[in-house]
Amino acid sequence: MNAILRMHSEADDGGGDVDHFVREWTKQVRELAYDAEDCVDLYVFRIRCPRRGAGVLVRSRRILATLFSRRALAGDINGLCARAVAISERHARYGVNREALRRAPFFAPVSGLAESARALRRRAANGHDEFVGIRGQANTLAGKVGAVGTDKRLKVFSIVGFGGLGKTTLAMEVCRQLERAFQRLALVSVSQAFDGRKEDVEGLLKRVLRQIVKVKTNEEGIRTEEHDLVSEVDTMDLDGLAHTVEELLGNKRYLIVIDDVWTVAAWDAIVSRLPENTCDSRIIVTTRIETVAKACCSDVGGDYLYPLKPLNSEDSKELFLSRAFGSKDAYCPQELQGEMDTILRKCGGLPLAIVSIASLLTSYGSKDMWERVCRSIGSHMESHPTLEGMRQILTLSYNHLPHHLKGCMMYLSIFPEDYVIHIGRLLHRWIAEGLVEEKRGLTSLEVAEAYLDELMSRSMIDAVTSTGQDQRALECRVHDMMLEVMVSKSLEANFASLLGRQYEGITYDRIRRLSIHGGEHGSMAAGQMNMQHARSLSTFNLEGHKLLDRLGEFSLLTVLDLQDCKGLQNKHMRDVCRMYLLRYLSVKNTHITLLPPKVGELEHLQTLDAMHTGLEGLPDTVTKLKKLERLLFTNRNDYRVWWLPSRGLSKMKALRELVRIGIKDVQVAREIGELQQMRVICIYIDLMKTLSASFAAP
């Protein structure tokens, strides 16, 4: 089942080759896989065997006590088998074959050249195209590209940035400004369809030749061709094309833009066929992926890598007004000012989003319709033709992800708009959810960090704060428009269920991962839903108690993140300590003052975050948590409160991060020294007491 789901994930979403029946059939397979996983975990939860060394009497009692549970699970397994047979028969009856789920070598290209250029271009009064918001950046980059120095070798510049940010438009404007400075110019789009095959390189060289071998008009107005090759291009093979390009560009100063490069392999295949002369020639590469940009440019540390910035608030407003009201000098009615500000905040300086939404609003003049569009941008992206181009551009980045990163990216749909996510919180939640694959020689955290680096390199996640010489990210966020795409993907795959705020009114058949976004309404809606299949619960500023009073029903929960939950009380912690399968538990920034000793029975727990709570300490049973990797504890009212563990800490062999521990027993210090996996520790030693004891000793 997992193999089928992976094949569907890697199938050609962009080209639409996966038809609606295959999608529905895959959805049924996905739900079957979810239920099979539930069945396995229910066995672990209800019928877990006694520990090794238990006597015959203990084992016999356990078998009798779980007899009815075993019978019920046997019935569930039979039901799963029957469903699997029915799905398989449906597969055979309607002729779904592996060809329908083939792994696509590429996705159908969407012309970034057309979409991005239209986003930033508006028609000026003199009839010429005028670019909005990038004039300053274009002037800066044109100065660097066009500069003539003593080093005449070929230079490569990389423009990198989020999809729809205007990379292609910037490159086009630079070409326009430098048209007279170069003898040959060409702009070709590569897109993710290009994988370096012979046919791909041939097609690219043909497009280059058609632009550099073009019909010109001489001083007498007579149209001439510098080379009679236009008609011959289509008949040339790869070697002939490369030879012709070398012949035409070998001793000329040329500027070529390679737009939308997705892989280093594609770049290597392209650059190997372009002449490297000493005529101050230039190549400009645009890409969404930072690692590709660095591999392409001449010098990462110099001026050759150009990260494109979003539009500032002034340019964003100018672009919005020019599209929504026909002029940058237009006046937005006072009653629509608030909605315009909200839309611009959501767009986050992304030109493609600003233009697409502004174009949609041109047909709506009422405040009510503007408010409705603000609330439902995600659904409009799926159904309204005006926003279809924007959705395709943004979805390309997701579709091009490897299978193992798609789940990690969809997981971000759990967090609210504009939410700043702590990196440690995200990585350890990925691990607890089983989204991080095991790799030989690497810890799960190291693999998760590599996943995050890759998503940041692809400009899909933005770093908010960084630290250290390597500028390691501490916090991150997702652009609101990309978040809308992730929410759409997540809901389609039943990956997560969202309640509260703009998600009010949505109903769900089966809840796997539940995320409640603030207030009491989300809690009230969740209070009427079946939670027995939920594997993850996240709350964001939850105030109501209705859902919290039902925590005992979340028997299969592996992730419980109650950070900032105002309604959490000590009584709820009793139910939390019965969640046997729990791997991640956060009660950070809550008002609880008691953690029951039964927390020591959560033997699968990997993260326990009790930062900034009312706890005066932790129960001694915490030392029974042999799989615990992170233990974080501070008191919100008194920074002098530390966890003072008793002996037994040496049993926590997996511990890697331990924050705020006090030591009053030398043996405890020795036991900490035995924890070989420890990487981060915040420790307090009462030196005054230690010195006093030393002086008092005979």
Q: Supply 35's token pair.
A: 């239920």
DSSP state of 626: T
26 contacts 1 by C-beta, under 8 angstroms: no
DSSP state of 412: G
User: What separation in angstroms does the CA of 186 have from each of 105, 211, 254, 489, 551?
Assistant: 27, 6, 8, 37, 62
Q: Side by side, which strands form the sheet with 421-422?
A: 421-422, 472-477, 462-467
CATH code of domain 112-307: 3.40.50.300
Q: What's the confidence (pLDDT) of residue 221?
A: 53
Number of Cα atoms under 13 Å in the Cβ half of residue 494: 21
Determine the Cα angle at 463 with ends 462 and 466, to 5°: 170
415 contacts 516 by C-beta, under 8 angstroms: no
Q: What's the confidence (pLDDT) of residue 690?
A: 52
The rounded distance, in Å, linking the Cα atoms of 188 and 259 is 6
User: What separation in angstroms does the CA of 390 have from each of 119, 211, 378, 385, 566?
Assistant: 10, 28, 11, 10, 38
Q: What's the confidence (pLDDT) of residue 361?
A: 82
Query: What Rg value do the Cα atoms of the chain yield, rounded?
Result: 30
User: What separation in angstroms does the CA of 99 have from each of 29, 30, 96, 400, 573?
Assistant: 17, 19, 8, 19, 51
611 contacts 638 by C-beta, under 8 angstroms: no
User: What separation in angstroms does the CA of 634 have from each of 8, 136, 518?
Assistant: 45, 48, 25
What CATH architecture is 564-698? Alpha-Beta Horseshoe (3.80)
- From the list 91, 117, 121, 131, the residue with the least C-alpha distance to 169 is 117
The rounded distance, in Å, linking the Cα atoms of 218 and 224 is 7
The rounded distance, in Å, linking the Cα atoms of 606 and 332 is 53
Q: What's the confidence (pLDDT) of residue 597?
A: 95
447 contacts 460 by C-beta, under 8 angstroms: no
User: What separation in angstroms does the CA of 599 have from each of 100, 561, 616?
Assistant: 48, 15, 16
Cβ partners under 8 Å of residue 65, min gap 6: none
* Domain edges within the chain: 2-101, 112-307, 314-389, 401-480, 497-557, 564-698
**Across the 698 residues of the chain, what is the mean pLDDT of every consecutive 10-residue run?**
52 49 69 74 63 62 68 76 75 58 40 46 43 81 90 92 87 91 90 78 89 61 54 82 89 92 90 91 92 86 84 87 79 86 87 84 79 75 67 81 91 92 96 93 94 90 71 83 88 87 78 82 62 89 78 91 92 93 95 94 94 93 94 90 88 92 86 91 72 51
131 contacts 169 by C-beta, under 8 angstroms: yes
User: What separation in angstroms does the CA of 35 have from each of 80, 84, 133, 410, 551?
Assistant: 8, 11, 51, 20, 21
Where do we find the tokens 């997540």?
Answer: 490
Cβ partners under 8 Å of residue 406, min gap 6: 9, 398
Q: What's the confidence (pLDDT) of residue 10?
A: 53
Q: What's the confidence (pLDDT) of residue 126?
A: 39
Q: What's the confidence (pLDDT) of residue 445?
A: 94
Q: In this structure, what are the phi and psi dihedrals at residue 545, rounded to the nearest 5 degrees?
A: -110, -10
For residue 555, the Cα-to-chain-centroid distance in whole angstroms is: 29
DSSP state of 178: T
The rounded distance, in Å, linking the Cα atoms of 231 and 235 is 8
Q: Could you please state the CATH topology (level 3) that the domain comprising 401-480 is classified under.
A: Arc Repressor Mutant, subunit A (1.10.10)
User: Hey, which bits of 181-331 come out as E strands?
Assistant: 184-189, 215-217, 223-225, 254-259, 282-287, 305-307
The rounded distance, in Å, linking the Cα atoms of 697 and 691 is 10
The rounded distance, in Å, linking the Cα atoms of 562 and 636 is 16
214 contacts 233 by C-beta, under 8 angstroms: no
The rounded distance, in Å, linking the Cα atoms of 589 and 618 is 16
Q: Residue 121: beta bridge partners?
A: 131
Q: What's the confidence (pLDDT) of residue 66?
A: 67
- From the list 277, 248, 271, 246, the residue with the least C-alpha distance to 151 is 277
In our burial notation (b when 16+ CB lie closer than 10 A, e otherwise), range 284-302 reads bbbbbbbebbbbbbbeeee
Q: What is the separation, in whole angstroms, between the first and last Cα of the chain?
A: 71
The rounded distance, in Å, linking the Cα atoms of 276 and 253 is 11
169 contacts 121 by C-beta, under 8 angstroms: yes
CB atoms within 10 A of CB 241: 20
Q: What's the confidence (pLDDT) of residue 522?
A: 53
- From the list 609, 578, 584, the residue with the least C-alpha distance to 596 is 578
Q: What's the confidence (pLDDT) of residue 587?
A: 96
The rounded distance, in Å, linking the Cα atoms of 328 and 315 is 9
Where do we find the tokens 């915040």?
Answer: 682
Q: Output the DSSP codes for 121-145.
A: EEE-TTSSEEESS-HHHHHHHHHHH
Q: What's the confidence (pLDDT) of residue 654?
A: 93
